Structure 1
Amino acid sequence: MNPALPQEPTDGFAGWTADLMDALGGPGAGLAIALENLFPPLPSEVILPLTGFAASQGVLSLVSALFWTTLGSVVGALALYWIGRVFGRERMHAIWAKLPLVKDSDLERTEKWFAEHGTKAVFLGRMVPIFRSLISVPAGVERMPLPTFLTLTALGSLIWNSVLVMAGYWLGDQWDVVETYVGVLSKVVLVLVVIALVAYVTVRLRGRGHARHRRTP
């Protein structure tokens, strides 16, 4: 029987994750990460360092920690990929056409960009908080070849997972320090996205205002 996590957290999501690893070992960590990919509010910055701490305490091996968390990342990303693929380009265009402040040409430019840079977007997106889950959906919508998607997702996930798992492994019972720093990074990313959206809407509204002004006799 594997040893249990000493001084493990007993409350909240961290406690649930620790219980899962105590019960299932590596597959438990993989399951937690798969769920984190499907539901981005679940924090990988808790799961992965805690998995590293568990490895340092002998609950599972370091190789097992990296293998199962990466497998969980791929499984979760694959589910989102298929959601995008089943949803499809035509439905996306139909919904896009009903949205305010957007044009068909915007979506077409996005599709063109993804066709040219999609491999980099999927690979690097796996290492960016928030986007690491969402990037799988447009990959499915654009029907990125499945072997390419799986390879890029596995490599990007392995890098991200390795950094956080190893941080937890080396920090030991101070593993939760990782959550603080990655949490700050996640907030920075979210703020940048909000700023970009506000700027986009502002430009669109001004553009429409100028167009109406030109049409007014």
Structure 2
Amino acid sequence: MNEWILQAIADGGYWGIVVLMALENIFPPIPSEVIMGMGGIAVAQGRMEVLPLMLAGTVGSTLGNYPWFLLGRALGYKRLRPFVARHGRWLTLDWPAMRRLVAFFRRHGQWVVFVMRFSPAMRTMISLPAGLAKMGHARFLVFTFAGTTIWNALLVWAGWHLGQHYELLGRYTGPASVALTVVLVGGWLWRVVRWNPRGV
């Protein structure tokens, strides 16, 4: 996949970065770490500039998150009640907890969206509950853009620092992503085992 991403960047330039980062959030297996890391390498080699690269990557990522947010707003959390009633154990979520989650998102969701932009496992899917909670469009876009800017800056810096050894980028980010995923899955399994519904 790295070769395909590298070719897309070479052929499309900054517009290629926009498209790749949008797709990365619609189809998460495409890794932003590699996309923006390779962009950082291109900066180190004089083939790209930092500011246009950052703008392209952040705009693309924000655009890629927006469809998930719009889907959540179109559904609305009340439509999920039959689904929660049927599959609550696997969601580790009952309806009272769902109402509290939505209330929390309506009060503090922008900070959850901001922080989750740094999580390899959740930075895309957090857009869906933000939409379900009817977060404002402007608030969602501003905090998504802000969090993504910081994340992309770290990746560009890493790519620039590593220079031509872009394979090392995966060596450092890959284990961190796996470790975080293991923690999240382990936490979910623990909640499934201990889950006790309080009513629907």
TM-score above 0.5, yes or no? yes
Provide the aligned length of Structure 1 versus Structure 2: 194
* Structure 1 equivalent of residue 5 of structure 2: 17
In the alignment, what sits opposite 1:212? none
The residue matched to 1:185 in structure 2 has which SS?
A: helix
Q: Does 1:64 align with 2:52?
A: yes
5+ residue gaps, structure 2, are none
Deviates more, 1:37-46 or 1:155-164: 37-46
Aligned to 1:114: 105
Does structure 2 conserve the Cα–Cα contact (< 8 Å) formed by 1:126 and 1:132? yes
Q: Give the partner amino acid of 1:113.
A: F
- Offset of residue 100 of structure 1: 4.3
User: Matches of 1:86 and 1:67 in 2, distance apart?
Assistant: 29
Q: Does the 8 A contact of 2:17 with 2:35 survive in 1?
A: yes
Question: Letter of the aligned partner of 1:86 in structure 2?
Answer: A
Return the alpha-carbon distance in structure 2 between the equivalents of residues 132 and 71 of structure 1. 15
Cα distance per residue 1:164-187 (max 9 Å; x no partner): 011101211112212221111111
Task: Work out whether 1:197 is the aligned partner of 2:164.
Answer: no
Q: Secondary structure at the match of 1:177?
A: helix
- Pairwise CA distance, 1:139: 0.8
**Residue 120 of structure 2 is aligned to residue 129 of structure 1:** yes
Q: Which has the higher contact order (CA 8 A, sep 6+)?
A: 2
Note the alpha carbon deviations across 1:172-206, whole angstroms, 9 max, x for none.
Answer: 111221222111111111111111111111112xx
Which residue number corresponds to residue 47 of structure 1?
35
Between the aligned partners of 1:185 and 1:119, the Cα distance in structure 2 is 25
Contact 1:35–1:76 (CA under 8 A) maintained in structure 2: yes
Q: How does 1:1-217 map to 2 (within 5 A)?
A: 13-101=1-89, 102-204=93-195, 207=196
Which one-letter code corresponds to 1:15 in the other structure?
E
Question: What TM-score, normalized to structure 2?
Answer: 0.91
CA deviation map 1:10-64 (0-9, x unaligned):
xxx2111111111111110111111111111211121111111112223221111
Q: Normalized against structure 1, the TM-score is what? A: 0.84
Identity of aligned residues (%): 32
Partner secondary structure for residue 164 of structure 2: helix
Amino acid corresponding to residue 70 of structure 1 in structure 2? T
In the alignment, structure 1 segments of 5+ residues that lack a partner are 1-12, 209-217
TM superposition shift of 1:113? 2.4
